[in-house]
Amino acid sequence: MKHQICIQDSGEHYACGEHKSLLLGMVALGKKGIPVGCRSGGCGVCKVQVLAGQVQTQVMSRAHVSAGEQAQGVVLACRASPRSDVTLSVIGQLRKRFKPPG
């Protein structure tokens, strides 16, 4: 079953199957919006916050997603699959963009 994913920051929409991660579903359709890194939970650049909808997550490293963050819907997009239509906001990229120089 496919669900509609909406990336709030870019306004991008795409359909993602339940067997695919949010990240790979986006990549498979040639869409952009979520930063793509290792694709296996190791780098943390694909970090997003689920604003609406349900996702199923695999084990995520506490180095990238704290228990507190996870409680607020923060997930690694390469470790989360949709279980309903999902609206998300990119976190990893924003942190980088606003990081002070040096």
Interface residue list for ligand FES (CB under 6 A): 23, 36-39, 41-46, 76, 78
Shortest Å, Cβ 51 to ligand FES:
18
- Sequence-ordered list of residues with C-beta below 8 angstroms from that of 88, at least 6 positions apart, any chain: 5, 6, 7, 8, 22, 34, 48, 49, 50, 51, 77
Shortest Å, Cβ 34 to ligand FES:
8
Shortest Å, Cβ 62 to ligand FES:
13
Nearer Cβ to ligand FES, position 46 or 50?
A: 46
